[in-house]
Amino acid sequence: MVDQEHFEPVIIGFTCNWCSYRAADLAGTARVKYPPNIRLIRLMCSGRLDPTFVLKALAGGADGVLITGCHPGECHYLEQNYKALRRFLLLRRTLVAMGLEPARVRLVWASAAEGVKLAHEIETMVAEIRALGPLRWGHNGTASDSAHDTHAYAMAGQEVSP
Nearer to another protein, 49 or 105 (CB): 49
Per-residue interface string for the shown chain with another protein, residues 85-104, x marking contact by CB under 8 A: --x-----------------
Under a CB-based contact definition with an 8 Å cutoff, are residues 34 and 123 in contact? yes
Q: How far apart are CA 129 and CA 131, in angstroms?
A: 5
The interface region with another protein, picked from 31-39, 89-97, 98-106 by CB under 8 A, is 31-39
Nearer to another protein, 4 or 140 (CB): 140
* Torsion over CA: 44, 80, 57, 31 (sign): positive
The interface region with another protein, picked from 51-59, 88-96, 101-109 by CB under 8 A, is 51-59
- State which amino acid sits at residue 76: H
Q: Least CB distance from residue 31 to another protein, whole Å? A: 5
Name the nearest CA neighbour of 81 among 67, 69, 64: 69
Q: How far apart are CA 23 and CA 33, in angstroms?
A: 13
105 is a site residue for another protein (CB under 8 A): no
Nearer to another protein, 41 or 96 (CB): 41
Per-residue interface string for the shown chain with another protein, residues 122-151, x marking contact by CB under 8 A: ----------------x-x-----xxxxxx
3-state SS, 74-127, equals: CECCECHHHHHHHHHHHHHHHHHHCCCCHHHEEEEECCCCCHHHHHHHHHHHHH
Under a CB-based contact definition with an 8 Å cutoff, are residues 7 and 62 in contact? no
Residues that bind another protein (CB under 8 A): 6, 8, 10, 12, 18-19, 21-22, 24-25, 27-29, 31-37, 39-45, 47-53, 56-57, 60-62, 70, 73-74, 76-80, 83, 87, 111-114, 119, 138, 140, 146-152, 154-158, 160
